[in-house]
Structure 1
Amino acid sequence: MTELSRRGRAAYWVVAVLAWAGVAATLIITAFDGYAPPTYHEEGLFAGAAHGWAGAPERLINCLSYFTELSNIMVAIISTLLARRGRVGVWGRATHLCALMMITVTAIVYALLIAPYEVLSGFALVTNPLQHIVVPAAFVAAAALAGPRGGITWATLGRALLIPVAWVAYTLVRGSFAHQYPYGFVNVWRIGYAQVAMNIVAILIGALLFMALFAGADWLIRKASRR
């Protein structure tokens, strides 16, 4: 793997600041019950936390259980490591690839399936675009322009899938007790385990395709730079 240049590390500092700012702001606003309630609620999805401090723990756990929040935290962590060290090891390379895939999925799903129907208000006017648009664009741009380059093998792809798989397992296990889920495609209460299983398989295949695409792009960039 190549080591990042000084400009590359600076670029990741910018991404880290943006990502940590989005995560911190979202968690603080959630704890203080600062977000407006949704105008529409699907049965079986997160809802019902008490207002005020009484519901703060449940709201925070729900917030951290969203794929969006996890992907932004992943971006914040790996960007900080790259900005400080300039390079990462085998597991760090897998984490970077995983974060790249997760934040890209977050942005695409939001743009295509959520944004056209969502009406934002209050604090969400700032934190929502920050986590769904600004951070994804900044991280993908940093990865494309600065690296890291190389170090992607079949084993890397397998390691990169561990966190999404762990998120799926956590979501289903917690949902079986709380009877609430973060998204409709894993809402067992409404669509059942069979449909959820098919959705998860399709998503994991899509995740592999995204990571393969990023690996191919990395190979092309390295080949072009050698020329």
Structure 2
Amino acid sequence: MRPTFAILRTVVAVGIDAAIVGQLLVSLDVWAGVATGTNLVNFFSFFTIGSNVLAAVVLLIGAVLLLRGDGADPGWFTLLRACAVTYMVVTGIVYNTLLRGIELPQGETLGWSNEVLHLVAPLYLLVDWLFAPGRTPVRAKRLLVVLIFPLAWTAYTLLRGPFVVDEIRGNAFWYPYPFLNPHASDGGYLTVWFYVVLIAVVIAAVGAGVLWLSRREPARTAD
């Protein structure tokens, strides 16, 4: 079982990296002649990109751990893995319920990359959490650690948005997702905060569920 999941983790990590690079190359072509530096920062400001980068790193570390040992994973890695699983599951939920079919400000969307980052990778991270060997229990109070990145990302996005010029669409602001854009609805910031609270609840619920699952079964150490 350990070699099998090591291979799966490596394959999915490489697929995630390829999907990110593929979308970036398409976006760079769309950005030709405009402020590439700003748009590059914008590209890596998507929650999807940050979550997938973390997921790829976690999967590669996890593959090495599976091949090097036959016991439980170190606690720091299980917590990091729990963070990646939470963010990726939330990415899948939010995209497929709120954003699928909506054009995002990343340039032209690369179809296969989009599916890898928003569907294939989130599903695999969940399956890996449920069935891969080595997982150790994570205490419920660690949920606060899981929430650090989403809270920091939300603050960064809302504070940065009004000061970034969107040269592609000609706006004096830039937000990665329409539900965080106060100019996208009549409700303005009231609508934004509604979605922020809603998604925060979803992240907390998913994170709590991920940690709960870690305590329901002992770490698997089968070969």
Please indicate, yes or no, whether the TM-score normalized by the shorter chain is above 0.5. yes
How much has 1:78 moved relative to structure 2? 1.0
Give the TM-score of the pair, scaled to structure 2. Answer: 0.78
Find out whether 1:25 has 2:22 as its counterpart.
yes
Give the TM-score of the pair, scaled to structure 1. Answer: 0.76
Cα distance in structure 2, aligned partners of 1:161 and 1:94: 12
Cα distance in structure 2, aligned partners of 1:56 and 1:107: 28
Q: Which residue, out of 159, 173, 177, partners 2:145?
A: 159
Q: How does 1:9-88 map to 2 (within 5 A)?
A: 9-33=6-30, 51-86=31-66
Change (3 A) 1:110 1:201: closer
1:18-48 Cα distance to aligned partner (Å, 9 max, x none): 1111122222222222xxxxxxxxxxxxxxx
Find out whether 1:206 has 2:191 as its counterpart.
no
Structure 1: state its 5+ residue gaps: 34-50
Q: CA RMSD in A?
A: 2.7
- The answer as to whether partners of 2:140 and 2:212 remain within 8 angstroms in 1 is no
Q: Which residue, out of 179, 182, 190, partners 1:185?
A: 179
Percent identity over paired residues: 27
Aligned pairs, how many? Answer: 202
Change (3 A) 1:88 1:218: closer
1:42-64 Cα distance to aligned partner (Å, 9 max, x none): xxxxxxxxx41433223222221
Q: Which residue is equivalent to 1:170?
A: 156
Q: Which residue, out of 4, 9, 21, partners 1:7?
A: 4
1:58-104 Cα distance to aligned partner (Å, 9 max, x none): 32222211111111111111111111233754443332112111111
- The answer as to whether partners of 1:104 and 1:136 remain within 8 angstroms in 2 is yes
Name the amino acid aligned to 1:157.
Answer: L
Name the amino acid aligned to 2:160.
Answer: R
1:174-203 Cα distance to aligned partner (Å, 9 max, x none): 113222211122113344334433322222
How much has 1:168 moved relative to structure 2? 0.6
Q: Which residue is equivalent to 2:84?
A: 99
**Bigger CA drift: 210-219 or 68-77?**
210-219
Q: Which residue is equivalent to 1:134?
A: 120
- The answer as to whether partners of 1:157 and 1:211 remain within 8 angstroms in 2 is yes
Structure 2: state its 5+ residue gaps: 67-71, 165-172
